[in-house]
Amino acid sequence: MAVAQSVVEARNYVGGRWVAASTEETFEDRSPADTRQLLGVVPRSSATDVEAAARAARQAYPEWRRWSRIKRAEVLDEFVQLVKRDKEELARLMAVECGKAINEARADVVEGIHTAQYWFGRARMASGEVLASEIADKESYVLHKPKGVVAAITPWNFPFAIPMWLICPSLVEGNTVVFKPAEETPLTGQRIVEYMEKAGLPAGVLDLVHGFGEEVGWPLVTHPEVDVVLFTGSAQVGSMIKEACARDYHKFCVCEMGGKNAMIVFDDADFDLAVNAAVISAFKTTGQRCVSAERLIVQQGILERFTRAFVERARRIRIGHPLNEDTFMGPLVSEAGLNKVLGYNRLAREEGAQVLLDGGRLEDGEERYGYYVRPFVYTMPHRSDSRVLREEVFGPHVAIVPFKTIEDAIAIHNDCEYGFALSVCSRDYRKIRAIREECEFGVGYVNLPTIGAEVHLPFGGLKKSGTGMPSAAALQEAVTHRVTFTINHGQEIKMAQGLQTQVEALES
């Protein structure tokens, strides 16, 4: 299905002006669903463009910071009205740009809207605290003050919702932002900035620089004008960013990264619910969610029946163009993504997996123009030295790993460098509780898939997955300083801890 659409000439947005990259170079944005479809021509920016954007953001900061918190948030209300009007068109752009099925693209837009609505509402809620003092005449407040210029560096798989998670709290709290969207989804990223401009955001408050990780992302991370780096993406890039920020005395970063998520299915689970939850966990978004399950840890008693049913349902998954309403799995995002998944499929065989469903590429029909693969399902006993059981694949590649006792399930689950999403399927609250207490994860579900975030719930992981910071409350902390401010309502200076001022003797 080649979809007619005019080619967008994307631009950077710096200090309120839409501009080409200083390099005057561009790169092509093609649909992974059909690479014959050119969607946009995008500025291939460099450190020079980052410099201009960071300077514009710094310049806009003092004035933006002085706006009332509520006034700042009102821009988001305006933004929401504009996005709602274009919701379907935006979802369709996203579906062809990153390949996610249209119903998922719609949900991504809705998640972005919810985030803006959440921060719009939150602006009128209490922020900070009033604390008692040892001295009756004193009052202490804790205030949140903005940190300055925030860099928002985002992945392609939620190209609308994730930038909104990072941009909204930054703006409402009074920071200015330089936004670098993923190079796979520049047009969806640009739309956020276009709506913000129309919604009345002053020039320079949100700047946009398109381009690649090393050429734009890294100069942004290391730029001296940037005070906070909010990054969502792979663990490999996240750890480099953490290291760079640690070297810079004033720079704070939040890095939310990948997962090797698992679903634990006990013998007593509601069978159909568990199988369906596993299918959704493994294959929605073609397995390209940070919370997708790549490990199904299944108890011996139902292993055979579960495996048969799961493979059967996985075989029936409809793979196709993301704009078809009945498509369950669209393509992988890129040729690099495709090669990575096929490489891990090969590695599973090399590591001795028993392959139950072979996830080859779709080579016929219209699908041959995109990066479409079938689900890859295998079974393999847990091994600590296995790479396929421990590394994030980011595709429809899933292992069924048997276990006997609950202790085994916990040990298998935790023998992994990541700790993001976990689902447990059981009817026994004691087992559910033991899993909750003993497993290392950030987002847990019971009798549900491993996917299903809502914007007001904390979302993040442990270990290589991140810091668990991108919950609303935590992000407020990330983009603000806590300032303690104490006022004396009395006529004389009284100190805490019984400290004597000894100033009387000096007065006479």
Choose the binding region for ligand NAD from 3-11, 67-75, 252-260, 444-452 (rule: CB under 6 A).
252-260
H or E stretch at 87:
helix 87-98
Q: How far apart (Å, rounded) are the C-alpha atoms in residues 436 and 433? A: 5
Which residues are the active-site residues? 256, 290
User: What distance lies between CA 104 and its chain's CA centroid?
Assistant: 15
Question: Is residue 154 close enough to count as binding ligand NAD by CB under 6 A?
Answer: yes
Are the C-beta atoms of 180 and 153 separated by less than 8 Å?
yes
**What sign results for the dihedral spanned by CA atoms 89, 92, 98, 100?**
positive
Q: Alpha-carbon distance 64 to 110, whole Å? A: 27
Using the rule CB under 6 A, is 402 a contact of ligand NAD?
no
Stretch that binds ligand NAD, among 217-225, 299-307, 378-386, 430-438 (CB under 6 A): 217-225
Residues near 375 by beta carbon (within 8 Å), at least 6 away in sequence? 282, 283, 314, 315, 317, 329, 357, 359, 396, 397, 398
The correct pick among 257, 264, 409, 478 for binding ligand NAD (CB under 6 A) is 257
Q: Nearer Cβ to ligand NAD, position 56 or 254? A: 254
258 touches ligand NAD (CB under 6 A): yes
> Binding to ligand NAD by residue 57, rule CB under 6 A?
no
Residue 377 CB, shortest distance to ligand NAD, in Å, is: 20
Number of residues that bind ligand NAD (CB under 6 A): 29
Residue 24 is given by DSSP the state: -
The single residue among 104, 108, 225, 392 that binds ligand NAD, judged by CB under 6 A, is 392
CB of 194 to ligand NAD, least distance (A): 19
Residue 156 engages ligand NAD in binding (rule: CB under 6 A): yes
Taking CB under 6 A as the rule, does residue 183 contact ligand NAD? yes
Is residue 33 involved in binding ligand NAD (CB under 6 A)? Answer: no
- The amino acid occupying position 7 is V
In angstroms, what CA-CA distances link 141 with 147, 370, 489?
A: 18, 57, 14
Please tell me whether residue 213 binds ligand NAD under the rule CB under 6 A: yes
DSSP state of 479: T
H or E stretch at 444: strand 443-446
CA distance 20 to 263: 46
**Contact mark string toward ligand NAD, 281..310, x via CB under 6 A:** ---------x--------------------
Kindly tell me which of 259 and 359 has the beta carbon lying closer to ligand NAD: 259
Please report whether residue 225 would count as binding ligand NAD according to CB under 6 A.
no
Piece of 133-141, 208-216, 302-310, 353-361 that binds ligand NAD (CB under 6 A): 208-216
The answer to whether 177 touches 206, Cβ cutoff 8 Å, is yes
Binding of ligand NAD at residue 468 (CB under 6 A)?
no
Those residues with Cβ within 8 angstroms of residue 436's Cβ, 6 or more apart along the chain or in another chain: 424, 444
Site for ligand NAD, rule CB under 6 A: 153-158, 162, 180, 182-183, 212-214, 217-218, 221, 232-234, 237, 240, 256-259, 290, 392, 394, 466
